[in-house]
Amino acid sequence: MLVFRKIFSLSIFILIGLNCCAQVSYFAKESISDDKLELLKKTTTLFTLQYKDYAELEKFDEAIKKSWTITPYKIIKPQELASYNTLENYSFFYFDAYSEKIDETSKANIVYVLKLATPSKKPKEKEEFALATVTLFADAYTNLQVNTMDEQSGSKKAKKSRLLNDLFNASIFHNWSPGFLAGYLKQINDGLTSEKNRSLEFEFYNKVRLPQLATQTLYVPEYIKQSFNTIRKEGAVSNYDATKIQEPYTYKLKFSTYDELDSLILAKSTPVKYVIYTQRGSDKIISIYDSRDNQIIYQKFSPNTLNFEMNDLSSIQKLIKTIK
């Protein structure tokens, strides 16, 4: 349990001020001083993964190398964090989670966090800053564990250690793979040096690239197919007018496995456009990435709605037609 105590010491400073409504959130120049950015650039970024991910270490390394240029990096195992004592020389990516209450409803936030540690004005202490997060679509058990932490037995530290143990060993993250990570890291890598933060209800579409889907294939991960909603969640409603018939998505569509999509995303010769669906409680985030340069070309945030619906694809097609 030593490794998770070490991670716990990092995670108690979790994400103050960084809203996770966007699927990939970051602080930019409007919130980060030039000094902090320079400090980050002087670090080596340590990437930790779930233990099962190390079986695909080469793919994860390829994904990081493709998108992460702001610092040197190293992939380590979670238990190795304890050996990096001079924290000011390093920045960290690791899994974390916390629950927040919105209108009396608990909402689990499961995230992949970038944190920077710098020397504090107080002797022998460090200041730690969360610079970016990736919101993960976790399995139901993980969400339950996060939302019920206050009701569980044991000290706060013991409960957090158990949670971190689950995140690194047992949790299922539907929107997580080497290929997907390449897209997430591109947003953070470029975003940290941009002018504006990305946080609350970020929505966007690229007027040039999105219409290309009228003639190109949109790749959809298999997990989205399994997430099509047939039962309403408590308090959640559809964000579409039920009295109006939505036009079906008639452009090219292909459901693909993780392995198939990873191969396409990481290949340099065959750029593809692909969907990522993230569910955070009853909030839904639909994103489309272009693997040509791992840029996001569409994102829509829908609070308190159903799971992924065919209407989400229909609305994308409708938007494309208005741009064309």
Is 304 strand, coil or helix? Answer: coil
Query: In this predicted structure, what is the pLDDT of residue 5?
Result: 52
Amino acid 318 reads K
Please state, rounded to an integer, the average pLDDT across all residues of the chain: 85
Whole-number Cα distances in Å, 99 to 27, 108, 123, 168, 271: 21, 4, 32, 18, 37
| pLDDT of the residue at 7 | 57
Q: What is the pLDDT of residue 232?
A: 47
pLDDT category at 230 given cuts 50, 70, 90 is: very low
Sorted by sequence, the CB contacts under 8 Å of residue 2 that are 6+ apart come out as 79, 82
Return the top range by mean pLDDT from 155-164, 209-218, 225-234, 273-282: 209-218
- Are β-strands 253-256 and 218-221 bridged in parallel, bridged antiparallel, or unpaired? parallel
Kindly give the pairing relationship between strand 273-280 and strand 283-290: antiparallel
Residue whose C-alpha is closest to residue 264's, from 78, 30, 255? 255
The partner residues of 98 in beta bridges, in order of sequence, read: 109
β 218-221/273-280 pair status: parallel
Whether the pLDDT of residue 16 is over 70: the answer is no
Query: What backbone torsions phi and psi does residue 316 show, to the nearest 5 degrees?
Result: -65, -45
Q: What is the pLDDT of residues 95-105, one digit of tens each?
A: 999 988 777 67
Q: How far apart are CA 282 and CA 114, in angstroms?
A: 25
Lowest-pLDDT range of 17-21, 30-34, 214-218: 17-21
Model confidence over 204-225: pLDDT tens digits?
999 999 999 999 999 999 999 8
Q: What is the pLDDT of residue 196?
A: 83
Least confident range of 195-199, 238-242, 292-296, 317-321: 238-242
112-121 average pLDDT score: 81
For residues 61-84, average pLDDT: 93
What pLDDT does 14 receive? 47
**Confidence at residue 297, expressed as pLDDT on a 0 to 100 scale:** 96
pLDDT exceeds cutoff 80 at 88: no
CA atoms within 13 A on the CB side of 224: 27
Percent of the chain with pLDDT over 90: 56
> How far apart are the C-alpha atoms of 77 and 57, rounded to whole Å?
11
The full DSSP string for 241-280 is -TTSPPPP--S-EEEE-HHHHHHHHH-SS---EEEEEEEE
